[in-house]
Amino acid sequence: MRHAHIYMSLLLTLCILSPNGASQALAEEAQTQVSEAAPDTPISRYKAETEALIESLSEEQAKKYYLIRNTHGIIRSVESVEAVVGKAAKSCKKNHKDLGKEIENRFVEWKLALHPIIKSSEDRLEKLVLIQDYAKPSDVKKHLKNFDLAATYGEKLMKQVPASDEESCTKLLKSMDATQSNLIRLLKETIGLE
């Protein structure tokens, strides 16, 4: 599945940002749990829905489908990273006033840099949904909502504890420079904004 690779790479990003020492092992555990999910979960329902849809599409329509789904998945994953960083920033501010204020200010800058790119990505996604020829736009959007339900379910399988110790908060502050440029590059390159 094409989106699984992209989604897992962003889960790895979440683990890197996870300030309590989470590692690639956490992402691998989540991937295993997602792969071995119970028969009736949002993930299994989305997978079945996707397989049925793909079977009905021509090769050209399938390409359009994957472009839409991957674009949506990347946008959603970047928003998930933002939520994780936001929780960590809030926790750091609560536990380390001076450092926390610096992190909060940097997080605001981080969001301000990302949001125009996310908005452009969402606009591109909307156009892709409108010009595809395999389903009504409302049905495509419903399918993407089911993607979100599956992704949210998968995210809940990951145990995340926001940053609280000073070392983790310092790492979080330093990581925002790299993640800001990496996420912007990922969006631009993968979604075709350049």
Mean pLDDT of the chain: 80
Nearest residue to 114 (alpha-carbon basis) of 88, 86, 136:
86
- What is the rounded CA–CA span in Å between residue 161 and residue 87? 9
Checking 33-36 for CB contacts under 8 A at 24+ apart, the result is 33/154, 33/157, 34/154, 34/157
Mean of pLDDT values over 5-31: 43
The answer, yes or no, to whether residue 176 has pLDDT greater than 70, is: yes
pLDDT band (50, 70, 90) for residue 23: very low
* All structural domains of the chain with their residue ranges: 2-191
pLDDT score for 3: 42
